[in-house]
Structure 1
Amino acid sequence: MDMLSPHSIQCPYCGEHIEILVDASAGDQQYIEDCQVCCRPISVAVWIGADEDVHVSVTGEDDA
């Protein structure tokens, strides 16, 4: 399994589709990454599924 992989997400604020790099070597994690378009903070949750696929979920600061 490749630990550093690109994932396309949609900013919960401006709606733009952006690509982020996710490092799955740290296992399940949650962190804040700024949108590359509107610069607002996006809460990113990363987890490894039972099938060893990397899953990513994003929410806005107000939605968390």
Structure 2
Amino acid sequence: MILRRRRVQLHWPENIPVSGLRSLIKHQVPDQEQWLRWALTAVSLDENGRRILQLEAVTTE
């Protein structure tokens, strides 16, 4: 088994509370069944002031 690290950035809509992030991530990441572990590593703002989530995951090939 080969392990890879993957980084993903997702837009975090204003209407989604912190408690809804897990569900948001599950719906926006199509290949999540290959993720062994993942972590939310950063939250930032883009040039338009929208929130961006940074995820890092360990995946299998």
| Higher RCO (CA 8 Å, separation ≥ 6 residues) | 2
TM-score bracket for the superposition, by shorter chain length: 0.3 to 0.5
Between structures 1 and 2, the one with greater helix share: 2
> Could you state the TM-score of these two structures normalised by the residue count of structure 1?
0.33
Larger Rg: 2
Instruction: Give the TM-score, by structure 2 length.
Output: 0.34
